[in-house]
Structures are given as structure tokens and as C-alpha cells.
């Protein structure tokens, strides 16, 4: 739908994308749950790493609310790349192969250079988000105490900081949507096929373009499950992040021919 015509051939025709029904995200979750149950040790190891990372961010950034919020959101901006091992577990299960945690880590070697380029782009987006957030807080709320609870209380209760909150949410939400759109298909595609990261990102954008309402629904499911993981002091991420990762593989297989 407009995006497809801009794709370079690069020696091979770009992957074709499918249009799917609104019910498909439930099938992706069901497939993700089957993959988690089929290989629980390796899958939950990734979930444990996500939970530990969240707890470490909380421990070291708790006294600086702006740093905590940026570090947490930045971490999950690059989460699609960190979930590459979960995609590899699902790929191997689909091929009838078992996986260990260390075997799944080797999946990224097949297309390491292009995955590294995508990771660098996500890192740049995360750094830009940190700088934008710091600038907003410095300009619009220079007198807010850095403590996280105080920060949240003052922004919520004081009308003086509503502009900060609105602008911050709009910019952060836009960056999150951008990352979702360029990674929802691209990371598993790069792990599955020998292609370049530009083609992978454009394929991801085309998949979103062809299934906009479905992808909005899928994004809402991912955000909801992640929020549940946050509310359980990150311990819920031990199960929920592997579930999302495996389900995302099934989304890729459904959306890309």
C-alpha cells in the first residue's frame, strides 16, 4: 500500500505480507504459550533476565525519577532485539529441534551484521529519547525533586506540570509506536532469513500498513501484558516476556509469506 513500491530489489524480491483477521493475535498467544510449555527452561531463563534487569533499574534509579522512567522505557525500546533468543527457540521448535538457552543465543550469528545494525538504530532511538526526556524535565519542571514517588505525585497533582506530562507522553508514545512498527516483523525476519535490516524494517512497516487495526490490537495486548509484569514488581515478566516473545514469532510467521 504505497510502501511496497519503494523497496529495492537487492537481488531478491522483498518478502510478501499477508492480511490477517482481528482474531489472529489470540492464535499468536496460544502458539506462544505452546512454545513456552515445550521449552520452559530456556524460555523462562530469558524471562528471568528481563525481570532482573527491571529490578536492577529500580534499585539503581529509584532516587532519580526521570532516570528511572527513561531507563525503563529505553530498556523496553530495545526489548524486541533482546527477545531474539525466544524467536530462535520458536524457530527451532517449528523445525522439530530442541533448544537450550545457549543454543538459542547462537541464532543471531546467522545474520549478525544486519541484526547489529538494527540494534544500533534502536540504541540511537533510545539515546535520543533519554536526551529529549532530560531536556523536557529541565525546561518544564526544573524544581521537581528527583525522587520517583515525589516526581509522580507532583506531576499528577500540580497543573503547572500538565504540559510536561502531555508532551512527554506524546513524544514517548510516538517513539514507542515507531519502534513497534519497525521491529514487530523485522527482528524475527532477520533471524529467519538472510536479508538486510532495511528490507526487514520496510517489510515490518508493510505488515503494519496491511494490518493496521490488527497491529494496534496486538500492540495493546503487548502493552497490557508488560504493564502487568511491571505491577508485579517485574516478577510477572518471567513468564509474560517469553510468552510475548514466542507469540511475536507466530505473528511474524502469520504476517510474512
- Per-residue pLDDT reduced to its tens digit, 160-205: 667 777 787 788 888 889 999 999 999 999 999 989 999 999 999 9
Rounded to whole angstroms, how far apart are CA atoms 76 and 64?
18
Burial class (CB in 10 A: 0-12, 13-18, 19+), 169: exposed
Give the pLDDT of residue 145. 55
Give the Cα-Cα-Cα angle 118, 181, 257 (nearest 5 degrees): 85
Cell digits for 222?
A: 503487548
Smallest CA-to-CA distance from 108 within 190, 204, 203 is with 190
Burial class (CB in 10 A: 0-12, 13-18, 19+), 204: buried
User: pLDDT at residue 156 above 70?
Assistant: no
Rounded to whole angstroms, how far apart are CA atoms 40 and 56?
24
User: pLDDT at residue 60 above 60?
Assistant: yes
When mean pLDDT is compared across 48-62, 95-109, 190-204, the lowest value belongs to 48-62
Query: What is residue 107's three-state secondary structure?
Result: helix
Cβ count within 10 A of residue 157: 9
CB 146 within 8 A of CB 137: no
Give the pLDDT of residue 14. 81
User: Which backbone phi and psi does 232 adopt, to 5 degrees?
Assistant: -95, 25
User: pLDDT at residue 25 above 90?
Assistant: yes
Average pLDDT, the chain: 84
Strand partners, 256: 17
Which residues contact residue 206 at a Cβ distance below 8 angstroms, ignoring those fewer than 6 apart? 1, 3, 4, 17
**Taking residues 233-239, what's their average pLDDT?**
90
Cell digits for 35?
A: 512454545
User: pLDDT at residue 70 above 50?
Assistant: yes
Give the pLDDT of residue 127. 82
- Where helices occur in 39-109 by DSSP H, the ranges are 40-61, 65-77, 79-82, 84-94, 101-105
Cβ count within 10 A of residue 84: 22
Amino acid at each position: 500500500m504505497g510502501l511496497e513500491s519503494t523497496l529495492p530489489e537487492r537481488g531478491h524480491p522483498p518478502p510478501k505480507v499477508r492480511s490477517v483477521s482481528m482474531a489472529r493475535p489470540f492464535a499468536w498467544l496460544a502458539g506462544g504459550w505452546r512454545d513456552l510449555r515445550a521449552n520452559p527452561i530456556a524460555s523462562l531463563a530469558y524471562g528471568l533476565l528481563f525481570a532482573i534487569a527491571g529490578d536492577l533499574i529500580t534499585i539503581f534509579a529509584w532516587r532519580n525519577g526521570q532516570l528511572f522512567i527513561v531507563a525503563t522505557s529505553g530498556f523496553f525500546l530495545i526489548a524486541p532485539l533482546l527477545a531474539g533468543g525466544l524467536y530462535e527457540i520458536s524457530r527451532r521448535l517449528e523445525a522439530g529441534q530442541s533448544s537450550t538457552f545457549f543454543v538459542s543465543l547462537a541464532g543471531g550469528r546467522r545474520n549478525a551484521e544486519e541484526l547489529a545494525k538494527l540494534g544500533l538504530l534502536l540504541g540511537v532511538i533510545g539515546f535520543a529519547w533519554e536526551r529529549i526526556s532530560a531536556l523536557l524535565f529541565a525546561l518544564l519542571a526544573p524544581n521537581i525533586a528527583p525522587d520517583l514517588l515525589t516526581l509522580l505525585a507532583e506531576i499528577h497533582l500540580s497543573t503547572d506540570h500538565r504540559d510536561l506530562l502531555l508532551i512527554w507522553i506524546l513524544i514517548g508514545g510516538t517513539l514507542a509506536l515507531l519502534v513497534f512498527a519497525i521491529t514487530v516483523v523485522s527482528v524475527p525476519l532477520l533471524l529467519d532469513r538472510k536479508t538486510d535490516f532495511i528490507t526487514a524494517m520496510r517489510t515490518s512497516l508493510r505488515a503494519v500498513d496491511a494490518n493496521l487495526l490488527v497491529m494496534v490490537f496486538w500492540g495493546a495486548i503487548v502493552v497490557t501484558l508488560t504493564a502487568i509484569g511491571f505491577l508485579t514488581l517485574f516478577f510477572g515478566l518471567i513468564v509474560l516476556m517469553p510468552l510475548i516473545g514466542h507469540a511475536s514469532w507466530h505473528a511474524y510467521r502469520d504476517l510474512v509469506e
